Amino acid sequence: MGRIALDQRPNVYILPERKKTRNPYKHRARNTYKSVAIALLLVILFAIGILFGSNSSSFEPYVQTVKKKVSWSSNNTATKVDLKYMKSRKKHYRSWFRKNKEDTLIIDADKDGPILDFAVVGFSHNTMSVATSLANLAPMPLSDEQSCTSLESLVTNAYQTWPSKYGDEKLFKGVHCENIMSLNSESFKQIKELSKHLPKTKLVIGIKHPVLWFKSRWDKAIKRNKIDRGANPYAFTELCVGNNCSSSCKENQPFCMHSTRFHLGIAKLGKTSLSDEERNLLAFADEDGGDNLKSFDVRNPIFIYDETELGKEYFWDKFANYMGAESIPHDIDEIQRQIDYDSLEIVKALDICDDKYNDLRSRLMKHSYDMASWLQQYLLPVSKEKLDVNVAEPMVLHGILDSYKEDPCGKLVRSRGGVYRVKSE
């Protein structure tokens, strides 16, 4: 993004010297006028400094107030941020609720400007690095699932509770609710509520290769005693649909193989046409996929990234443009360290590359291949045409998605029938 250098000065042109008798009175008058003009200019600049300096914030350098074209290969521009509105919007807090009560937001409550600038909504265990970095701009906790059950409580906390705890000087307002993009109908209701009441809130969505995600999720669940150390990963491969299910998994399971179908949650947002051809890639054989997948026509803009992009500076530059921030403070070394820590080379609770898990990876790779294909064929093209679908670099993400079609353990290959089988020796 181009920036105006502070030391740029206009060109100075030197006229040829004239051989003319100098008038001392005229020269003295010219100097007097010049001195008066300079004095007036200094007074004006001083007044401007007082006017704007009194309201300055240490976080204002992070706010981008001028809309500029960005060299994206997708059809996007940097967000225009109204700095004056961001500073004063708390004054309008009561007007966002029905009858000035805090129990129900009115429809299109943010018609005059964003109330929540962003919501990091999914997918679980792909969002912490982004949320940690955005917390430098917005006063918010990194985990508060209790607040995520109600849109009204999120707004109340963002304006009334969190600023005193996490920094009242931060101008952005945002939330981290990584589970509301799950396929669970109760969880997805919050996405629908956001679209209904706060359609200007930007949704931030992170994805990851399903095999890598399953391994990482298993390791963390074991560490946090969410599942028994002797549990069998194959017991986490059954689809569950109904009232006694959680995110398409059995009620007592914090996650399962079907949790990796990130593309189904994205498809439900309604950013693509959901043609018959698309639905073939959206878990067509599953009870909650294919023709049974319902679009909610969510109005909020979305930004999608793969977790590996977080270790690259290009991502943070483009993400800052999208958020309307001059920059987003982040620790690239720590982020890359975490990405490396979740790699296959570091075996913790689950050695998913072991031959006994070939069939497990084969099933995961079915979801992985379909997700990559759907994103490449249907969502990425939309990101070049619609302003409400955003990625950092479409071609880079397209290349990353190619890796989703390959077994990261290097043992399985896709057959003509679409099944991943062990390579023939």
Report the alpha-carbon distance of residue 122 to residue 204 in Å, rounded: 7
Q: pLDDT tens digits, residue range 374-414?
A: 999 999 999 998 899 999 999 999 999 999 999 999 999 99
100-109 pLDDT, tens digit each: 666 899 999 9
Query: Tell me, what's the pLDDT at 119?
Result: 96
The arithmetic mean of pLDDT across residues 350-360, rounded, is 96
Q: Residue 344: helix, strand or coil by DSSP?
A: coil
How sure is the predictor about 203, in pLDDT bands with cuts at 50, 70 and 90? very high
Buried b (16+ CB within 10 A) or exposed e, 375-410: bbebbbeebeebebbbbbbbebbeebbeebbbbbbe
Average pLDDT for 211-220: 93
Higher-pLDDT residue of 395 and 11 is 395
Q: Is residue 324 within 8 Å of 62, Cβ to Cβ?
A: no
State which of 47-51, 56-60, 318-322, 421-425 shows the largest mean pLDDT.
Answer: 318-322
pLDDT tens digits for 343-353? Answer: 777 778 899 99
pLDDT of residue 287: 87
What's the helix, strand, coil split of the chain in %, to 5?
45, 10, 45
Residue written as tokens 């400094």?
49
C-alpha 24 chain-centroid distance: 68
126-138 confidence digits (pLDDT tens): 899 999 999 999 9
Mean predicted lDDT score pLDDT of the chain: 83
Q: Centre a 10 Å sphere on the Cβ of residue 297 and count the other Cβ atoms it contains.
A: 11
Q: How confident is the model at residue 99 (pLDDT cuts 50, 70, 90)?
A: confident
Tokens of 94: 């009561």
pLDDT of residue 125: 81
Peptide linkage before 188 cis (omega within 30 of 0): no
pLDDT at 167 over 90: yes
Amino acid at 420: Y
Q: What DSSP string runs through 244-286?
A: TEETTEETT-S--GGGG-HHHHHHTT--S---HHHHTTTTTTS
Nearest to 130 by CA among 172, 164, 178, 171: 178
User: For residues 264 and 284, what is the distance between their CA atoms, to the nearest angstrom?
Assistant: 10
pLDDT tens readout for residues 141-166: 987 777 788 899 999 999 999 999 99
Is the pLDDT at 242 greater than 90? The verdict is no
Could you read off the pLDDT of 289-299 as tens digits, one per residue?
Answer: 999 999 999 99
113 vs 147, more confident: 113
Tens-place pLDDT, residues 47-73: 555 444 444 444 444 554 333 333 334
Cβ within 8 Å of residue 4, ≥6 positions away = none
pTM of the model: 0.81
Q: Which pLDDT belongs to residue 186?
A: 67
- What angle in degrees, to the nearest 10, is found between the helix axes of 394-403 and 358-374? 160
d(C-alpha 141, C-alpha 132), whole Å: 9
Q: Assess whether pLDDT exceeds 50 at residue 245.
A: yes
pLDDT for 189 equals: 87
Comparing 272 with 52, the larger pLDDT belongs to 272
**Phi and psi angles of residue 191, each rounded to the nearest 5 degrees, phi first:** -65, -45
Task: Check residues 13 and 170 and name the one with the higher pLDDT.
Answer: 170
Whole-angstrom Cα distance, residue 87 to residue 68?
22
Q: Check residue 424 and give its pLDDT.
A: 81
In this prediction, residues 267-280 reach a mean pLDDT of 96
Least confident of 178-182, 272-276, 330-334, 386-390: 178-182
- Per-residue pLDDT, averaged over 113-141, amounts to 94
